[in-house]
Structure 1
Amino acid sequence: MKLHLIDRSTPRDTSFTIRVNEGANFLKIWHYHPELELVAVLKSEGTCFVGDGVEKFEKGDVFLVGKDTPHMWLNDESYFAKESTLKAKSIAIHFKKDFLGTHFFDTPEMMHLSEFFNKARFGIKFLNVTQKQIEEIQTLLELKGFEKTISFLRILNELSLCKNYKSLASLGYIKSFQVTKNETLDRVYAYIFKHFKENISLVEVAKIANMNATAFSRLFKRVNGKTYSRYLSEIRIGYACRLLLEQKVNISEICYEVGFNNVSNFNRQFKIIKKCSPSSYIKTHLKNEVV
């Protein structure tokens, strides 16, 4: 799974773009671009990969992905079935941090938005988004010129003040991608995302990087601040959390679905990473949903 640089540049007559993405499924490409991306999911469900973060998405979810942060929207397998009549639909807004001028967001009144854009490099999922907020984003499609820009600023301002959100990518991943632009590790990350459900060993992944296992292990830990095995476990547990919240299959089935060979190891790794058991994780989520 190669990482693609996608052209999301804006036309000359506008400072940011708004497009409706609609079809049988979303674009299944691991990609990045210099524009920030605000996404409102209107139909469908699946898994989004942002950096090394794995998160569920469904109707009504809103995400902000930062400049040059790799990401992919992957619909559930049912959306790729030949007989499927399911549809995926979202609104995506692409804009650069300086879309209103080099120093516009450096002014005291706008500094909080500049910090908000910097925070987006980790990928942000906004929790408990209201229908009114979704409608405000949809309304942008009907506006032009000044009114469109002012409305977009209001939406960004409201989201920047949101206290209920989740950051997706880890600091280690963002540092390695945005600072070093390490193409070797980029191939490794892409390979892990594609095969994390399988039994992929350190030796196998080191070959992707054209390195021996010992040298690769040292490089990976230095860049990410964690071992390869811990990194892989975090990806698997992140995906497991998405399956747990769906409550469509039991914990034992999820264990094998995400790449673990036995339930005891799955439970052990889950507690290490999430600081609770899978069953406690479900109960906590349901409790928060009620609240």
Structure 2
Amino acid sequence: MKPLLFKIAKTEEESIRILQEDYPYFYDNLHYHSETQIMVILEGEGTYFVGDAIGNFKAGDIFILGSNLPHFFRSDKSYYEENTHLRSKNISIIFSLESLGEKFLELPEFYAIKQLLHYSKRGLMVQGNARTKLYQSANKMLHKKGIERLIYLLKQLHKLSRSNELMALSHINFDHEPKPTDTKKVNTVINFIMDNFSKDITLAEVANVANLSVNAFCRFFKQHTRKTFSQFLNEIRIGHACKQLIEEGYSVKEVAFDSGYYNISYFNRQFKSITGYTPSQYIKTHTQKHHRAS
């Protein structure tokens, strides 16, 4: 998938940008940037695509997105409706320590941080106690300026580099810089899938959206997402199903139909293949984790 090169606007007075964003929905075009980004979800929920990983996000989640890592965060459908009061809010800490000089990260004191930044090229989700502390630190960083902000960021990165509560999302590192290209076709396809995954989408239909033959589309999609169209569609659908099972309280049959499956046996097979659980096991496991956490 050819992502859009996203240029982060900077001023001469800052090497670290902190954005506090409040929009109806998150920026949902696949893109990448040379800087590392720590994204703290303050409000909102939806689906993320990070590298080759697909999953759900919600308020309180924190992601570390490495340099040149393709990603997008798409809010749930309800956020796009007219006259809704739903908001999508986040704090983004955007930085490039390489801008501090070629030898900066070569210092022995920064070895662990350098390893963390390399690891972040797979996309990281911060969990447990580390997430709680980083959530608080991100809010504090909003009020810091200049050298204080830089020192504070380095301290947080140092803590994260020693944490065992970071979960890699993508199966591979995206450590090469993609060539800038026109991504209108790619994002048109993604938006079509996200808007219609609950319907019966055919391969010919989505290939037509991309204005490609079926064979050309299959090659194009697999080359750039490292997934077949069927794999991508099933992961989007099962992610939606997981969310409904644990948040909405619908029956398995209702969830299957709403996620685009009209054959319950096929839905159950796909669900277990992707999550490792049957729907009933998934509900039970999540309920037990919720009770332990509370």
- 2:4, 2:181 within 8 Å by CA — same for their partners in 1? no
- 1:9, 1:35 within 8 Å by CA — same for their partners in 2? no
- 1:47, 1:74 within 8 Å by CA — same for their partners in 2? yes
The structure whose RCO (Cα within 8 Å, separation 6+) is larger is: 2
CA distances 1:136-173 after superposition (whole Å, capped 9, x unpaired): 111111112222111111112222333233333343xx
- 2:60, 2:135 within 8 Å by CA — same for their partners in 1? yes
| Residue range with higher mean Cα deviation, 59-68 or 216-225 | 216-225
- 1:2, 1:187 within 8 Å by CA — same for their partners in 2? no
Unaligned runs of at least 5 residues, structure 1 = none
Quote the residue 1:50 is aligned against: 50
| Residue range with higher mean Cα deviation, 250-259 or 225-234 | 225-234
Change (3 A) 1:105 1:2: closer
CA distances 1:172-204 after superposition (whole Å, capped 9, x unpaired): xx66x9577596999457614531504333334
The question of 1:280 aligning with 2:278 is answered no
1:68-83 to structure 2, matched below 5 A, reads 68-83=68-83
CA distances 1:61-119 after superposition (whole Å, capped 9, x unpaired): 11111222232222333333333233332111111251332232233322222222222
Q: Which amino acid aligns with 1:284?
A: T
**TM-fit CA distance, 1:3:** 4.8
1:22-171 to structure 2, matched below 5 A, reads 22-128=22-128, 129-171=130-172
Q: Which amino acid aligns with 1:233?
A: N
- 2:52, 2:171 within 8 Å by CA — same for their partners in 1? yes
**TM-fit CA distance, 1:52:** 3.7
Q: Which amino acid aligns with 1:40?
A: V
CA distances 1:190-245 after superposition (whole Å, capped 9, x unpaired): 61453150433333444566654446546765776654423432333233333333
- 2:45, 2:75 within 8 Å by CA — same for their partners in 1? yes
SS at match of 1:109: helix
SS at match of 1:142: coil
Corresponding residue to 1:191 among 170, 189, 192? 189
Partners of 1:108 and 1:245 in 2: how far apart?
A: 46
SS at match of 1:249: coil
- 2:54, 2:235 within 8 Å by CA — same for their partners in 1? no
Q: Which amino acid aligns with 1:43?
A: E
**TM-fit CA distance, 1:277:** 0.7
Quote the residue 1:13 is aligned against: 13
| Residue range with higher mean Cα deviation, 59-68 or 206-215 | 206-215
- 1:55, 1:242 within 8 Å by CA — same for their partners in 2? no
- 2:39, 2:62 within 8 Å by CA — same for their partners in 1? yes
CA distances 1:115-138 after superposition (whole Å, capped 9, x unpaired): 222222222221235544322111
Partners of 1:100 and 1:9 in 2: how far apart?
A: 17
Q: Which amino acid aligns with 2:247?
A: E
Q: Which amino acid aligns with 1:29?
A: N
| Residue range with higher mean Cα deviation, 145-154 or 253-262 | 253-262
SS at match of 1:110: helix
Q: TM-score, normalised by structure 2?
A: 0.81
- 2:193, 2:233 within 8 Å by CA — same for their partners in 1? no
Unaligned runs of at least 5 residues, structure 2 = none
- 1:245, 1:285 within 8 Å by CA — same for their partners in 2? yes
Partners of 1:282 and 1:188 in 2: how far apart?
A: 34
RMSD: 3.3
Partners of 1:25 and 1:214 in 2: how far apart?
A: 34
Quote the residue 1:243 is aligned against: 244
Change (3 A) 1:288 1:87: same
**Percent of aligned positions that are identical:** 33
Q: Which amino acid aligns with 2:258?
A: E
